Amino acid sequence: MAYQGLIEKYREFLPVSDKTPVITLLEGNTPLIPAPRISRLIEGNPQIFLKYEGLNPTASFKDRGMTMAVSKAVEEGSRAVMCASTGNTSASAAAYAARAGIDAIVLIPKGAIALGKLAQALMHGAKVVAVDGNFDDALRLVKEITSKYPITLVNSLNPYRIEGQKSGAFEICEQLGGSPDFQAMPVGNAGNITAYWKGYQEFREAGKIVRLPEMLGFQAEGAAPIVRGEVVEKPETIATAIRIGNPASWRQAELARDESGGLIDFVSDVEILEAYQLLASGEGVFVEPASAAGVAGLIKVARTGMFKETDKIVCILTGHGLKDPDRAINSSVEPPVVAATVEAVVKEIGY
Ligand code: F0G
């Protein structure tokens, strides 16, 4: 039968029943792409695979959690969902609310979300409000408002978000024919690392895999509260998606790190941008800057000699490059303008 979305595919692992109205845009089922050029660049030459979550319906991994959160909200009779967002959660909440025929309200940090994400939230008909503050301020407001009004919170504090997002781990195990040795990913509000770790653990309990991967999480240097062990009051990074100073799932991220024997480290904006370019021009995979943090982190930690050739490492590429066209243009050389003649073009291209 044709693919029907991740709730149908992984129903036995999810808190849904026959009564749950499944709100889906056929999210999930994203490719796991081998990355031979990056493998050669990383010390120890481990086998690198890219889980390209930018190919979800709204072009980020958030759709995995949102299909669950919105389906359960509708099941519970909710008429509105609300989130704080650095952009992707708002795009996804807006799309799934549109699909369900309910309202979406999103709070975004003023001037700090990528253009494509804002376009999505607006086009899907969400009520978008920019807050004069950062993501952490917006999340605090959303928590308070949703506790007082009949509006369902769909940030990853909503446990159904984590339930949906754990499906990424299931897919990876099926695609690899077992678990990877390591998984590398960006960490912002820390819901996704929590979800993946839960997914791997459940797949092992179900006897589908034998071992668990080591979880490697990477924050941006200017927004690295978990690495530093304290709240960052004014988080700063070009990777706006992970510009978060007080992650909601902080403790769970530490558990994923410690239980798996992994690590959470930070990468600089320069390292993030290098990995961003490398993915796009070296492997043909265009991601947004935050999504490149996992690859940047691998390049960094590999210098300690922790990987070998037989290791399989999966990088979660959380969002599509087209989300942030400004950053892409600013990171590139402006195309030259020439006369509309064959001679001028041939001269320019050097033939
Ligand atoms: N990568 C991208 C592209 C993201 O949008 C996010 C989070 C993350 C990584 C980090 O995931 O928060 O689960 O640790 N974006 C949220 C948002 C905060 O509002 O869209 P996390």
pLDDT for 1: 87
Q: Is the Cα dihedral 179, 182, 188, 194 positive or negative?
A: positive
Can you tell me the distance from the alpha carbon of 117 to that of 90, in angstroms, rounded to the nearest whole number?
8
**What ligand 1 atom has the least distance to the C-alpha of 185?**
9
Calculate how far, in angstroms, residue 18's C-alpha sits from the geometric centre of ligand 1.
31
pTM of the model: 0.97
Pocket mutation for ligand 1, best pick of 88, 194, 216 (most atoms within 8 Å of C-beta): 88
Q: In angstroms, how far is CA 72 from the centroid of its own chain?
A: 21
The count of other CB atoms within 10 Å of the CB of residue 242 is: 26
What are the pocket residues of ligand 1 if the criterion is a CB atom closer than 6 Å to any ligand atom?
60, 62, 85-89, 156, 186-192, 241-242, 288, 290-291, 318-319
Q: What's the token pair of residue 320?
A: 């599509």
Q: Evaluate whether 117 touches 95 at the Cβ level (below 8 Å).
A: no
In which residue are the tokens 């990056």 written? Answer: 38
Hey, what are 298's tokens?
Answer: 């691998």
Q: How far apart are the CA of 157 and the centre of ligand 1, in A? A: 13
Q: Among 81, 131, 192, 324, which residue has the most ligand 1 atoms within 8 Å of its CB, making it the best to mutate? A: 192
Q: How far is the CA of 342 from the centre of ligand 1 (A)?
A: 46
Centre of ligand 1 from the C-alpha of residue 274, in Å: 20
Tell me the C-alpha distance between 150 and 152, whole Å. Answer: 7
CA of residue 317 to ligand 1 center, whole Å = 11
Ligand 1 atom nearest residue 85's Cα:
19
- Helix pair angle (269-277, 293-301), 10° resolution: 110
Q: What is the C-alpha separation between 178 and 208, in angstroms, rounded? A: 8
Question: Measured between alpha carbons, how far is 319 from 10 in angstroms, rounded to an integer?
Answer: 22
| Closest ligand 1 atom to Cα of 323 | 3
- Name the nearest CA neighbour of 196 among 130, 122, 252: 252
How far, in Å, is the centroid of ligand 1 from the Cα of 53? Answer: 12
Kindly report, residue by residue over 254-281, the tens digit of the pLDDT: 999 999 999 999 999 999 999 999 999 9
Q: What is the 3-state secondary structure (H, E, C) of the chain?
A: CCCCCHHHHCHHHCCCCCCCCCCCCCCCCCCEEECHHHHHHCCCCCEEEEEEHHHCCCCECHHHHHHHHHHHHHHCCCCEEEEECCCHHHHHHHHHHHHHCCEEEEEEECCCCCHHHHHHHHHCCCEEEEECCCHHHHHHHHHHHHHHCCCEECCCCCHHHHHHHCHHHHHHHHHHCCCCCEEEEECCCCHHHHHHHHHHHHHHHCCCCCCCCEEEEEEECCECHHHHCCCCCCCCCCCHHHCCCCCCCHHHHHHHHHHHCCEEEEECHHHHHHHHHHHHHHHCCCECHHHHHHHHHHHHHHHHCCCCCCCEEEEEECEEHHHCHHHHHHCCCCCCCCCCCHHHHHHHHCC
Residue 346 Cα to ligand 1 middle (Å): 44
**Residue of 30, 249, 318 with the most ligand 1 atoms within 8 Å of its CB, for mutation:** 318
186 alpha carbon to ligand 1 midpoint, in Å?
Answer: 8
Q: If DSSP states are collapsed to H, E and C, what string results for 54-72?
A: HHCCCCECHHHHHHHHHHH
- How many angstroms does the Cα of residue 244 sit away from the middle of ligand 1? 9
- Each residue's pLDDT tens digit in the chain (351 positions)? 899 999 999 999 999 999 999 999 999 999 999 999 999 999 999 999 999 999 999 999 999 999 999 999 999 999 999 999 999 999 999 999 999 999 999 999 999 899 999 999 999 999 999 999 999 999 999 999 999 999 999 999 999 999 999 999 999 999 999 999 999 999 999 999 999 999 999 999 999 999 999 999 999 999 999 999 999 999 999 999 999 999 999 999 999 999 999 999 999 999 999 999 999 999 999 999 999 999 999 999 999 999 999 999 999 999 999 999 999 999 999 999 999 999 999 999 999
Q: For a substitution probing ligand 1, which of 61, 157, 189 has the most ligand atoms within 8 Å of its CB?
A: 189
